[in-house]
C-alpha cells in the first residue's frame, strides 16, 4: 500500500524539479522585492535589499492608488462577466457537438482553433472586427439601424433615438469607455470558449450511458435527463472549468494589451497590465511596487480558489 501511494510521486518529480530549479527562487525574490524600492537596474544583492527596504510602504501605496483601484474593479468586472458567459456557451456547444452528426469532428476542430491561435493575432483580428467605421460588427449594426429607421418612417412614426444612433454611429467598441470592456470580453469569450468546450466534451463522454437509458425507461424527457442526470454528473467538470476560467480571467493581459492598451482612460486597465506597466512600462522601473501588485493578485486568487475548493463539497457530485 505504501508503494502504491508513493508511486504517483515519481510522475510529479520532473515538474517538481523544474519548479524548485526555475520558479521557487524568482517567487521568493518577488516577495522580498515587494518590501523594497527597486528600479531593476542595480544588481540584486542582499545589500540592495538592506539599503532600499521600505517595509509595507508599497502595500500602503496600493490602498491610496486610484489607478490600482480602477484596474482592480475592472478585473473583477471582467471575471464576473466573461467567466459565466464562457462556461455557459461552452456547455451549450459541447451538448450540441456531443452527437454523431456528419462533420462533427470538423466543427469541434473549428471551435478549438481560436484557442490555439496566438493571442496577438486574436487581438489584432478583433480590433478590425470591432472597428467602428469598417468593422463587420458595426457595419451590420448600422444596416439594422437603417432598416429600423426606415420601418418607423414607413409607419409614419418618429424613429427613437437609439435606432438613429445605431444607424449613424453604433457602439465605439474600443474607443468609448462605456463599451471598451465589452469589446474585450467579446473577443476573450470567442477565443477561450473552444478549450472549455473540449473539457466539457470529455466530461460528457465520460458519463455512463446506462444512467441515461435508465432515466429514459422511467419516462424522463430530454430536459429532465439533462437537469437531473447529466448536469449533476457533470458538476466535477463544471467545477474544473470554472476554476481554470476564473484563474485565467484574473491573469488576462495579452488581449487587453493588444486591443486597447488599457484605454480609453483606463476603462480596460486590468491588474496584470498595470503590473506590467509599473515593472517595465515606465522609467524609472518600479519593480518593488509591481511585486506588491503581483502578491496582492496572488493572495486574491488563492483566497477565491480556496473558497471554491471548500464549497465544492456542497454542489459537486462525485460518481460512486
Q: What is the predicted pLDDT for the residue at 3?
A: 57
Length of the chain: 320
Alpha helix ranges (H) inside the chain: 2-18, 24-33, 46-51, 57-64, 66-97, 104-116, 119-129, 136-154, 161-168, 180-205, 209-217, 222-225, 231-250, 254-259, 271-276, 287-315
pLDDT tier at 26, thresholds 50, 70, 90? confident
CB 203 within 8 A of CB 291: no
Tell me: the pLDDT tens digits for 106-158? 989 899 999 889 999 999 999 999 998 889 999 999 999 999 999 999 988 88
Tell me: the pLDDT tens digits for 54-81? 889 999 999 999 999 999 999 999 999 9
Q: Widest CA span of the chain, in angstroms? A: 84
pLDDT at 6 over 90: no
What pTM does this model have?
A: 0.91
Tell me: the pLDDT tens digits for 243-285? 999 999 999 999 999 999 998 999 999 999 999 999 988 888 8
CB 235 within 8 A of CB 207: no
Tell me: the pLDDT tens digits for 205-242? 988 888 888 988 888 888 888 898 889 999 999 999 99
Q: What is the predicted pLDDT for the residue at 5?
A: 66
CA 181 from centre of chain = 13
pLDDT at 319 over 70: no
Would you kindly state where each structural domain of the chain is located, as residue ranges? 1-61, 65-116, 118-175
Tell me: the pLDDT tens digits for 171-204? 999 999 999 999 999 999 999 999 999 999 999 9
C-alpha distance from residue 84 to each of 81, 196, 227 (Å): 6, 11, 18
C-alpha distance from residue 292 to each of 25, 272, 274, 280, 296 (Å): 17, 12, 12, 14, 6
pLDDT tier at 320, thresholds 50, 70, 90? very low
Q: What is the predicted pLDDT for the residue at 140?
A: 94
Q: What is the predicted pLDDT for the residue at 245?
A: 95
The four Cα atoms 309, 310, 314, 317 give a dihedral, to 10 degrees, of 30
Q: What is the predicted pLDDT for the residue at 16?
A: 85
Bridge partners, residue 36, by sequence: 53
CB 95 within 8 A of CB 302: no
Amino acid at each position: 500500500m505504501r508503494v502504491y501511494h508513493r508511486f504517483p510521486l515519481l510522475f510529479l518529480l520532473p515538474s517538481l524539479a523544474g519548479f524548485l530549479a526555475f520558479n521557487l527562487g524568482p517567487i521568493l525574490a518577488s516577495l522580498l522585492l515587494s518590501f523594497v524600492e527597486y528600479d531593476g537596474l542595480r544588481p540584486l544583492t542582499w545589500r540592495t535589499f538592506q539599503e532600499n527596504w521600505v517595509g509595507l510602504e508599497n502595500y500602503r501605496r496600493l490602498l491610496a492608488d486610484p489607478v490600482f483601484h480602477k484596474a482592480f474593479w475592472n478585473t473583477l468586472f471582467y471575471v464576473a462577466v466573461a467567466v459565466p458567459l464562457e462556461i455557459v456557451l461552452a456547455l451549450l456547444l459541447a451538448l450540441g457537438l456531443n452527437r454523431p452528426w456528419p462533420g462533427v469532428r470538423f466543427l469541434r476542430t473549428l471551435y478549438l482553433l481560436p484557442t490555439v491561435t496566438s493571442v496577438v493575432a486574436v487581438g489584432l483580428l478583433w480590433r478590425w472586427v470591432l472597428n467602428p467605421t469598417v468593422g463587420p460588427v458595426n457595419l451590420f449594426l448600422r444596416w439594422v439601424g437603417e432598416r429600423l429607421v426606415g420601418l418607423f418612417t414607413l409607419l409614419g412614426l418618429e424613429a427613437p433615438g437609439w435606432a438613429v444612433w445605431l444607424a449613424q454611429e453604433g457602439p465605439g467598441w474600443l474607443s468609448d469607455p462605456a463599451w471598451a470592456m465589452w469589446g474585450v470580453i467579446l473577443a476573450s469569450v470567442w477565443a477561450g470558449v473552444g478549450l472549455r468546450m473540449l473539457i466539457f466534451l470529455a466530461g460528457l463522454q465520460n458519463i455512463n450511458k446506462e444512467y441515461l437509458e435508465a432515466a429514459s425507461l422511467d419516462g424522463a424527457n430530454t430536459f429532465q435527463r439533462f437537469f437531473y442526470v447529466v448536469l449533476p454528473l457533470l458538476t466535477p467538470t463544471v467545477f474544473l472549468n470554472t476554476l481554470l476560467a476564473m484563474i485565467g480571467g484574473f491573469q488576462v493581459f495579452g488581449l487587453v494589451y493588444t486591443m486597447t492598451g488599457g484605454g480609453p482612460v483606463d476603462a480596460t486597465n486590468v491588474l496584470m497590465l498595470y503590473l506590467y506597466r509599473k515593472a517595465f512600462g515606465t522609467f524609472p522601473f518600479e519593480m518593488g511596487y509591481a511585486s506588491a501588485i503581483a502578491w496582492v493578485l496572488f493572495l486574491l486568487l488563492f483566497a477565491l480558489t480556496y473558497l471554491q475548493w471548500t464549497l465544492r463539497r456542497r454542489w459537486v457530485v462525485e460518481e460512486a
